Amino acid sequence: NAGVTQTPKFHILKTGQSMTLQCAQDMNHGYMSWYRQDPGMGLRLIYYSAAAGTTDKEVPNGYNVSRLNTEDFPLRLVSAAPSQTSVYLCASSPAYPPGTLEAFFGQGTRLTVV
């Protein structure tokens, strides 16, 4: 059972470039989310999706998300900025009760924007 898989593990991006961070889960979880983790800041939520085909929160500037199916939850950085340098963590959990059960995390993508 693979759980939550994130790719790539590491990436260096130039300012202004775009890229998509991939996240896939094989546990049939309805709820998926993206966090970023910065030194001394803890994990901060970027976006979540409660179910496939739904978008439930205003997407922060500089990011784009989609949830076309249950398994995949890609996060796109649109015109990357150095402030987006971070470790990005994807998580999934059973849909009901929403988010109250344990969240499974991927290994993270360490992204550097230069």
Partner 1 sequence: EDQVTQSPEALRLQEGESSSLNCSYTVSGLRGLFWYRQDPGKGPEFLFTLYSAGEEKEKERLKATLTKKESFLHITAPKPEDSATYLCAVLGTGYALNFGKGTSLLVTP
In the complex, the residues that contact partner 1 under the rule CB under 8 A are 4, 6, 31, 33, 35, 40-45, 48, 50, 56-57, 89, 91, 97-108
Give the DSSP letter of residue 78.
Answer: S
Of 77 and 89, CB closest to partner 1: 89
Residue 28 or 100: the one with the smaller Cβ distance to partner 1 is: 100
Q: 31-38 and 86-93 as β-strands: parallel, antiparallel, unpaired?
A: antiparallel
CA distance 88 to 54: 21
| Of residues 81 and 104, the one with the C-beta less far from partner 1 | 104
DSSP, collapsed to helix, strand or coil, labels residue 102 as coil
**Beta carbon of residue 5, minimum distance to partner 1 (angstroms, whole number):** 11
CB of residue 34 vs partner 1: minimum separation in angstroms?
10
The rounded distance, in Å, linking the Cα atoms of 47 and 33 is: 6
Beta carbon of residue 7, minimum distance to partner 1 (angstroms, whole number): 13
Q: Which is nearer to partner 1, 17 or 57 (CB)?
A: 57
Within the chain, how many helices (H) and strands (E) appear? Answer: 0, 10
